[in-house]
Amino acid sequence: MSPTLLIENLTNPALLFFMLGILAVILKSDLEIPHNSSKFISLYLLFSIGFRGGQELAHETPSTEMFISLLFGMLLSLLIPVYTFFILRKRFSVYDAGAIAASYGSISAVTFITATAYLETHHEHLHGHMVAVMALMEAPAIVSGLILINAFAPASQFQRIRKRDALKHALTNGSVMLILGSLIIGVLASAEQAQGIKPFTTDLFKGFLAIFLLDMGIESGRKLRNFFQYGWFPVVFALLIPLFNGTGATLLSSMFTDDVSNRFMFGVLAASASYIAVPAAIKVSVPQANPGIFLPMALAITFPLNITLGFPLYAHLAGM
């Protein structure tokens, strides 16, 4: 990885807006993105990614590689929580270990969205079926985490873990429904129909992404304030495990795909951690888990790690 490429990645406007958000919190600025605006922008980004992915998918020929990619993504989502759970059990309760493991087995839609912009800056494009892979990796991790908690939680507290509620949140989560729905609409829409809304789906994307990452920076800065009371173990975990997962997935994906953008995206998906879908499911199903641990790990440490050091690493390993 050349120093020039590293400097280019670190001076990316999207990343700099994220750092500006953290700086605003450190300096105790009153800078804040209104909640309704932030929610609209996140919905827009998911819609745009899904619709554009659907348009790409409409032009793809179904292949063995595509189906293997979908299976590989779901297997990653099921298996990552298993070995991370046993690492986490050395320091955390069953509930916290299961919640963190589920977060790291699932994916971050925002990291995925940021990675698509990274691909564009390197003159690569996102293949439509990778949007489907991303959407399908949400639920298996939650299922895997719940199974592990149910297997190792004290018997007297077993009934308190409401599996049905968690699965409902995993399958009907707004982010998953929007991106899958947009993907299907993108497949059904003709090229002429898609051209009519192109200024909205494409031209505005990077600007909205920069503002959204500013908001993410502010949220990360707030979450990080009281995090170190838990010691250094969660920090080290949140730094090393994503790089291990991302590196492994990037290299393993070369067994069934030669496309560098697909290999890069598998690395991104495996390395990212959920701080939206999984926390929503865990909140209703495992109230014993402490969100003060897994939310800062995913949002304030793993997310910036991926967009600063992770992306260049996975791109290099993928051959970009």
What pLDDT is stored for residue 89 in this prediction? 92
Tokens of 116: 């698509």
Evaluate whether 53 touches 126 at the Cβ level (below 8 Å): yes
3-state secondary structure of 61: coil
Close Cβ partners of 226 (under 8 Å, ≥ 6 residues apart): 292
What pLDDT is stored for residue 126 in this prediction? 84
Evaluate whether 145 touches 167 at the Cβ level (below 8 Å): no
Nearest 5°: the CA angle 7, 206, 246 is 55
Q: What domains can you pick out in the chain, each with its CATH number?
A: 3-22+32-318 (1.20.1530.20)
What pLDDT is stored for residue 153 in this prediction? 78
Separation CA 238–CA 253 (nearest Å):
23
**Length of the chain counted residue by residue:** 320
Separation CA 224–CA 130 (nearest Å):
31
What pLDDT is stored for residue 103 in this prediction? 92
What pLDDT is stored for residue 29 in this prediction? 92
What pLDDT is stored for residue 2 in this prediction? 47
3-state secondary structure of 255: coil
Q: What is the pLDDT along the chain (320 residues), one digit of tens a residue?
A: 445 545 555 666 767 887 888 889 889 898 888 888 887 887 887 788 778 778 877 877 788 988 999 899 999 999 999 999 999 998 898 999 999 999 999 888 888 888 988 888 888 888 888 888 887 787 788 888 888 888 887 765 545 555 555 556 556 666 667 777 887 888 888 888 888 888 887 778 778 878 887 887 887 777 776 677 778 899 999 999 999 999 999 999 999 999 999 999 999 999 999 877 777 677 767 778 877 788 788 888 898 899 889 999 999 999 88
What pLDDT is stored for residue 202 in this prediction? 74
